[in-house]
Structure 1
Amino acid sequence: LFQSQDPYLRRMMYLFIKEVAETCNPDDVIIVTSSLTKDMNSNDDLYRANAIRVLARIIDTQMLGAIERYIKQAIVDKNTLVASSALVSGIRLHGANPESAKVVCRWVNEVQEAVSSPNDMVQFHALSLLYEIKKNDRLAISKMVTQLTKSNMGSPLGVCLLIRYISKILNDDASAAVARMAQTFLESSLRHRSEIVIYEAAKAICTLDNLDQRDLNPAITVLQLFLSSPKPTLRYAAMRCLSEVSMRHPMAIVKCNDDMEALISDPNRSIATLAITTLLKTGSESSVDRLMKQINSFMNEIADEFK
């Protein structure tokens, strides 16, 4: 099958090897490994990418040392499929065992170069691996985050990852200088062109510890706009986040009450349920009375799991 030129058959073969290799005799795996190593040096990018992914599933630390230079070359490869495959394989190998993790940590220069890739997915995978390599060094993570906030990351997924790392740093008691930089970046991300970045930034701000109510206002304003979005996913995400905020700062989201009341009749019952339960926490006495009347008809319309 390794001689087949049919790309679909070859990809099925790679998937099959990944599934059965861990249950096979190690002596049999060596035979496959030599064929995969040959594919890893092929001129066909599809074969190279898939061979790297499969090898990451079946090789031991000793074999990893032998093919390490090929994976490092693949990380900075111009072909985005090959680069992403090498980075994802690095993430897997880093978590496999401590010995493999030590080998992967030697790839830090190549991974940092991949973080600057113009391709969104390569940048995302590179940042994921870079964090895994440095996550036990708080100073290195702070330095990495500070550098990346000053750069212009093009990948929305990469920026979302960066926001999550910033949120973790802030909740882990960062220094005053890093905290100011991080909060400034989160607020600037609320004006990003990508909706997923805007939501991730708003969610991060809303979940930070020790924030005053006025510090939440920019994030609450963004979430309020999402409540009237034509996309059910955005409405649900905003509603879920506001519901969590209402547990700690109910007065901060009172200005969203009118928008949330409109969602009681939303065709998506999950959104409508969240709207009602949140309004019961934030509404005034008169609005709660009105809500109770609406709940009676609402309860008759929804399925048992929502009740």
Structure 2
Amino acid sequence: MGNNNVIDMEKSKDKFNWKKYTRSSIAVVIFIVIAIFVFSNLFIVKENEYKVIRQFGEVVRIIKEPGLNYKIPFIQSAESLPKYQMTYDVEEAEINTKDKKRILIDNYAVWRIEDPKKMISNARNVVNAEAKMSEFIFSTVRSELGKLNYDEIINDEKSSRGSINDKVTKIVNELLQKNNYGIVVTDVRMKRTDLPEENEKSVFTRMISERESKAQEYLSMGDAGKNRIIAETDRQVKEMLAKAEAEANRIRGEGEEAAAKTYNEAYSKDANFYSLFRTLESYKKTIDEETVLIIPFDSPYAKILMGEEN
């Protein structure tokens, strides 16, 4: 009975195969390590990026299409470059205009990488590419704005900035292409044009003076126009009054002529009546309540007054 409690270790070892278990575990570990190793060297290229594959520091491949890719472990490395358009603020700088005025120019540029291999070969990285692009933009803007007067740049009515922006963009792209930098500038724009601080006050004073002068010019033109209109109106009124007066005199003359003709015709029919009428008319003008007349008693005038004249 006591012998039944004794375990035979040799028989148990045969039942549990330690070697087989160890080999399986090692295989699993190796598989996991290989999987990690493989997946660590897989990478995804996104829609908005380039992948640059380097081997011992040299560019051996540039992947432009999105998708899953693989690099050789320990030998190759992958880095990303932006494929989308980027905005770069060009550092503010002073330039001289054609009429020797100094102004501050603040530009920005929209740009993108067109050929990553050329960009890496000649600019090495994005920072250097932007620096070189900034140099070209500044030199071109300085050259082009140096051909314009100050007023042509800041005055909205006379400004040529729109065409200058397009011209600067074209020239900068030509310079970048000539030097094989592999980047393209989509647009260059002026954000701001200001005066240096020391010149602002004097220029503002001059601008105010010019505006006041222009306002006075407009007022003078208005006064001249008003005086011209008044003079023309007075002339027309005088002409109208002169014509009206001439017409009235003509009508009056014709009336007096007709009246005289009528009187003559009437008076010629009775000479005594005409004589009496003229005498009475003279009385109306020469005799009133205070009039004293001294006339001969036998004069026709006295006989009429006495009612003796037939």
Band the TM-score falls in, shorter-chain normalisation: under 0.3
Q: Which protein has the larger Cα radius of gyration, Structure 1 or Structure 2?
A: 2
* Structure with the larger strand share: 2
* Structure with the larger helix share: 1
TM-score when normalising by structure 1? 0.19
- Higher relative contact order, structure no. (Cα contacts within 8 Å, ≥ 6 residues apart): 2
TM-score when normalising by structure 2? 0.19
